[in-house]
Structure 1
Amino acid sequence: MLFNRHYFGEGIHMTARRKNLLSGILFGLGLVAFIDETIFHQLLHWHHFYDKETTDIGLISDGLFHAFSWFATIGGLFMFADLRRRQSLIVMRWTGGVLAGAGAFQLYDGTIQHKLMGLHQIRYVENVYIYDWIWNVTAVLMLLSGMYFILREKRKQAG
């Protein structure tokens, strides 16, 4: 049966369903982090990953953040390629993982990094809360959409 296959070599076993989900989550997390870093950090210059220091430190923190997003994206895509090679790709589950990973990262960024830790704001303007609401509502919508796809695939598999 397709879903009884195990992956990841000796000692670490992962079913195809779990690998689809993890691949999607990594790709979604890396993709939304990459978009955030490219658009808001580099193109618009609204903030750096870490804004409590000099511009040089901010640029270094952006570089580390960019490396993180790159490795998450590439890791997710390597897993995706392996799933396709093994003919174990479950598109609905993977898509749910992408949306859930993207939404979870954006919600973490908007609540923990922006507000609790104060590493940076979305934009340094008088009414930043408008940006916060748009950022976090978008994150919740992506997260809920991802959960919908994941649960829909699970019900389809069970039924």
Structure 2
Amino acid sequence: MDSPRTAVIRPVRRNVLSGVLVGIGIAAFVDEVVFHQLLQWHHFYDKSTASAGLFSDGLFHAFGWFAVVAGLFLFADLRRHRLLMPLRWAGALLVGAGGFQLYDGTIQHKLLTLHQIRYNVELPYDIAWNTVAVLMIGVGVFLLVRTRSAEPAGHGH
């Protein structure tokens, strides 16, 4: 049997997991739609043919939607059981989106060189990309810290 503390911790962690998954998926979706499709600045993998780039974009797009769908299933379950913590969830979403964007900007762009945001003008875009990521993470962490002792709204009812 769960202790009262364990009963609260699980929904708190599930709020964070749901928010992080949705945040990762939204960041991947925006990256894919804006930079890969609309602006056509790059593909997920630019070290091969255009067909390989398009295929890699498809896999990337599927990954993003899988993260959103999984996060939204958790979100719906939290809502159904009146365990949603909106500020905590929003903080986790920002940490997920910012964390994914920072990972993309540092690991994928610079370390692995899978692609750049925009070729031939990298530095301004890298600075903007990673600054926005750090800001999202900072605001998200602030919200998570601010809500660390909160309990789900439906707890105890």
AA aligned opposite 1:109? D
Alpha-carbon distance between aligned partners in 2 of 1:3 and 1:37, rounded to the nearest angstrom: 41
Q: Determine which of 1, 19, 43 is the counterpart of 2:38.
A: 43
Q: Distance in 1 between matches of 2:67 and 2:143?
A: 21
- 1:92 Cα deviation from its structure 2 partner: 1.0
The letter of the residue matching 1:5 is A
Distance in 2 separating the partners of 1:48 and 1:41: 5
Task: State, as a whole percentage, how many aligned pairs show the same letter.
Answer: 56
Partner residue of 1:88 out of 83, 86, 89: 83
Count of aligned pairs: 149
Instruction: Using the TM superposition, give the Cα deviation of residue 58 of structure 1 relative to its aligned residue in structure 2, in angstroms.
Output: 0.1
2:24 to 29, 36, 39: 29
Instruction: Judge conservation of contact 1:2–1:88 (CA < 8 Å) in 2.
Output: no
By relative contact order (CA 8 Å, sep 6+), the higher-ranking structure is 2
Is the Cα–Cα contact under 8 Å of residues 3 and 16 in structure 1 kept in the other structure?
A: no
Residue type matched to 2:7 in 1?
Answer: R
Pair 1:57-2:59 in alignment? no
> 1:2 deviation in Å?
7.6
Deviation (angstroms), 1:138: 0.2
Asked if 1:146 is matched to 2:140, the reply is yes
Q: By how many angstroms is 1:124 displaced?
A: 1.1
List runs of 5+ in structure 2 lacking aligned partners: 152-157
Partner SS for 2:47 = coil
CA distance in 2, matches of 1:35, 1:66: 10
Name which of 11, 15, 20 aligns with 1:16. Answer: 11
Q: What is the Cα deviation at residue 137 of structure 1?
A: 0.2
Uncovered stretches (5+) of structure 1, i.e. residues with no partner: 7-13
By how many angstroms is 1:156 displaced? 4.8
TM-score scaled to structure 2, two decimals?
0.90
Deviation at 1:4, TM superposition (A): 3.9
Distance in 1, matches of 2:119 and 2:145, equals 38
Q: Which residue of 2 aligns with 1:5?
A: 7
Structure 2 vs 1, CA of residues 142 and 68 (structure 1 numbering), >3 Å: closer, same or farther? same
For residues 55-93 of structure 1, what are the alpha-carbon distances to aligned partners after superposition, in whole Å with 9 as ceiling and x for unaligned? 000000000000000000010000000000000000111
| Cα distance in 2 between the residues matched to 1:97 and 1:4 | 20
